[in-house]
Amino acid sequence: MSANSLDGGHLKAFIERIERLEEEKKAIADDIKEVYAEAKGSGYDVKIMRKVVSIRKQDHNKRREEEEILDLYLSAIGVE
């Protein structure tokens, strides 16, 4: 594709949309950090909260399978 065949206006619109979304993503990430900081200030363990959020994102059956494999591995090496 040559520079002459590019639709500069169309490309610029895509780039600007991506830039706006990146700004929104950063703002949301900052908001999430603030919520975790607030929770920490209230005495909650943020590390555990992050794990809970991660677990809740997983498919129930996949999570159960991973927990069973984890238990099996821990048992195999003598950790209970």
Q: Is the dihedral of CA 57, 61, 67, 73 positive or negative?
A: negative
Q: What is the pLDDT of residues 21-74, one digit of tens each?
A: 999 999 999 999 999 999 999 999 999 999 999 999 999 999 999 999 999 999
Confidence at 5, pLDDT banded by 50, 70, 90 = confident
72 lies in the same domain as 33: no
19 lies in the same domain as 50: no
pTM value is: 0.71
User: Which of 24 and 8 is assigned the larger pLDDT?
Assistant: 24
- Asked whether residue 19 carries a pLDDT value surpassing 90, the answer given is yes
6: which DSSP letter?
Answer: S
55 lies in the same domain as 25: no
Domains of the chain: total: 2
Least Cα distance to 22 among 30, 68, 61 occurs for 30
What is the domain extent for residue 14?
1-44
3 lies in the same domain as 37: yes
50 lies in the same domain as 31: no
27 lies in the same domain as 1: yes
CA angle 37, 45, 54 (to 5 degrees): 90
